Amino acid sequence: MPRDFWAPLRALRARVTASLQTRVLLLTVAVFVVVSLPAYVAFEWIVRGTVVKLGTLFAEKQVLFDRYRGLEALMREVSLAETLTRSPVVLAWATDEADPAKAAVALAELERYRRSFQDHSWFFVVHASGNYYFNDHEGAFAGREFRYTVRSDNPRDGWYFRTVADGPGCRLNVDRDDNLAVTKVWINCVVADAGSGRALGVLGTGVDLTAFIREVVAIPQVGVQSMFVDRSGAIQAHRDPGMVDFHSLTKDTKAKKTIFAQVDGDDDRAALAAMMERLVAGRNTVESRFIRIGGKDYLVGVGWLDRVGWFNVTLMDVDAIIDRELFAPIAALLALIAGAAVALMMVFFRRVVLDRLGRLEAGIHRMEAGDFAAEPDPRPDEIGRLSRAFARMARKVGDHTATLETTVAERTAQLRRLAERDPLTGIYNRRGVIAAVEERRAPGARDGDPLGLLLIDFDLFKSINDQHGHHAGDRVLSEAARRLESVLRAGDVYGRWGGDEFIVVAGEASETALRRLGERLIAAIAGTPVAFEGGDEARVSISIGACRIAAGEPLDAALARADAALYAAKRAGRDTVVVHDPRGDVPLSA
């Protein structure tokens, strides 16, 4: 292999390394590629949302179109049958079937309606006797309209008893005559007493649905399939006769051919059932949503035909209805805009960033060297040169600044210790305690819980100095500070308030907690005698006045209440703790 095989790659690498502009260009292209992926996903999402919106509007229009396109004849038959159920002569015959005069008048009325019915046929079942009367389109049974008697134990008569059980109104029952290749829907309307609502019988007619299915359900539409189902979801009209559920009124639910059986998932079945319930309740005129049927997502539109008790269901393949290639010009335009944005960004970057960095670099070199000569650099990267120039300057200024800040910090710490620490005990003095408490109570401090204040004073401290000398008093104060620290928690503030007085600001704020803390302090300080040089020792005791520091209360006010409690402790015989009563001015004795 020739030795200079890698030379072009090294030259390319050197060029990329030496030029920030090239690297930014490559980075921009890479970012553009990375951003393009979610942008494509977002574009697809927008396209799908648009398609869904258009498909939903199409579904609603299609459902309404199917509702009124071929149902006029069927609705007319239902209206005629409903009108016949309210005929006075029919009602009179149903209540007194044995009266020949009433029968004759009623049969004449039924015959008149037979000529108005599309099928030119009628049937009537008198509920009291179960007698079934019928006449066909040829009038072949005129004068002998009675055909048979329905019985509850005959499965073929189940349609009648089911219709009566469902109450007033009309029910549709689809049947198919395979011999004649004719599909019929029977309109069964309940005849009821106007006053009591008691069922007097069922009458109706039949409608040939063969033409309806051919003109409405089986009409060829790309990506659209229509069907009609009843309240239970049983398919009543479909372009495939094998999908129609005949005798739906008398079938068990599990044996019916329903729209729910076509749906793939339980969630979609539940959603479809909820859509149908809302339509029956009258909340909407049309409902639509995507449902997976046969492994494919269909936009399903549903409308409720309250007069006949059917739903018209339209399945739409949105991808077949709306061509996604219509959005291709938009995608091309977006890609062109993105490419133009990359080019403009590079021009902007060169003029606004690179040129300014070059001028700034030259100025830094002149300022650093004291003249206008440029200092050579082994790497020609613009940002690299600038960073090294700033690093040299920062290093020089930083050395001086660090030394100065260290000295200032040490001196500040020394001064603060001198200002806030008691030289005898090494703990906070009055100034240090006030500063620490204010910091703890400052707005935004993490510890926002109520605080407790304990003011501590030695009992008969002067007698210690009188008996053992002032050095003994100093020894007692130093030992007391050490014992205070052993009892208190890390977050508690304590210090020497002045003379033989100490102060504690603790996180324990309840009366019980303050009393217990005071008792522990008394036990710690007075429990063991304080030993002096030379073998002498003295037993000391303290009195404590405590109170709660209310939120926002000035420290001076709390000190006044703690001092009153301390005075009460002294009056109570010393060597005790008294907590100030927050409900009044009288301290509570421990």
Nearest Cα residue to 433 out of 373, 481, 368: 481
Q: What is the pLDDT of residue 151?
A: 92
The per-residue pLDDT for range 309-365, each reduced to its tens digit, is 788 888 888 777 666 666 667 767 767 776 777 677 767 666 656 665 665 566 566
Please give the structure tokens belonging to residue 195: 């006053």
Over 60: is that where the pLDDT of 239 sits? Answer: yes
pLDDT confidence of residue 531: 86
What burial letters (b/e) apply to 71-98, b meaning 16+ CB within 10 Å?
beebeebbebbbebbebebbbbbbbebe
Mean pLDDT of the chain: 79
**pLDDT at site 360:** 58
Residue 319 neighbours by CB distance under 10 Å: 13
Instruction: Pick the more confident residue, 27 or 551.
Output: 551
Q: What is residue 133's predicted lDDT score, i.e. its pLDDT?
A: 95
Residue 177 pLDDT > 60: no
What's the pLDDT score for residue 364? 67
- The answer to whether residue 25 scores a pLDDT higher than 80 is no
Q: What is the pLDDT of residues 109-161, one digit of tens each?
A: 999 999 999 888 999 999 999 999 999 888 889 889 999 999 989 888 888 89
User: pLDDT tens-digit profile of 441-489?
Assistant: 877 555 556 789 999 999 888 888 888 887 888 889 998 999 988 898 8
Q: Which of 213-227, 235-249, 559-573 has the highest mean pLDDT?
A: 559-573
Burial status of residue 238 (CB atoms within 10 A of its CB: 0-12, 13-18, 19 or more): buried
State the Cα–Cα distance between residues 227 and 240, nearest whole angstrom: 10
Average pLDDT over residues 20-24: 68
Structure confidence at residue 445 (pLDDT): 58
Residue 503 has pLDDT above 90, yes or no: yes
The predicted pLDDT at position 336 comes to 77
Beta bridge partners of 104: none
pLDDT per residue over 190-227, tens digit each? 999 888 889 999 999 988 766 666 666 666 677 788 88
In 3D space, the residue among 547, 543, 548 whose CA is nearest the CA of residue 577 turns out to be 543
**Given the DSSP bridges, would you call strands 235-237 and 588-589 parallel, antiparallel or unpaired?**
unpaired
Mean pLDDT of 381-389: 62
Token pair for residue 568?
Answer: 């009460």
Distances 228 to 187, 210, 258, 570 between C-alpha atoms, Å: 15, 14, 10, 98
Residue 314 to residue 421: CA distance in whole angstroms:
88
What pLDDT score does 391 carry? 55
Phi first, then psi: what are they for 83, rounded to 5°?
-65, -40
> CA 470, CA 464: separation in Å to the nearest integer?
8
Q: b/e per residue, 478-501, with b = 16+ CB within 10 A? A: bbbbebbeebbeeebbbbbbeebb
Q: What is the 3-state composition of the chain as percent helix, strand, coil, each rounded to the nearest 5?
A: 55, 20, 25
Q: What is the pLDDT of residues 392-410, one digit of tens each?
A: 654 564 565 557 777 777 7
Q: What is the pLDDT of residues 264-322, one digit of tens each?
A: 999 999 999 999 999 888 877 788 888 999 888 888 888 887 766 788 888 888 777 66
Question: Average pLDDT, stretch 503-529?
Answer: 89
Please report the pLDDT score of residue 1 as a whole number: 46
Pairing mode of beta strands 122-126, 131-135: antiparallel
User: How many other C-beta atoms can be found within 10 angstroms of the C-beta atom of residue 115?
Assistant: 10
Which pLDDT value is given to residue 73?
65
If pLDDT is split at 50, 70 and 90, which confidence band does 505 have?
very high
Distances 123 to 105, 202, 334, 411 between C-alpha atoms, Å: 16, 8, 68, 114
pLDDT for residue 99 is more than 90:
yes
Q: What is the pLDDT of residue 367?
A: 58
Q: State the DSSP code for 374.
A: P
**pTM for the full model?**
0.43
Looking at the DSSP assignment, which residues form a beta bridge with residue 218?
Answer: none
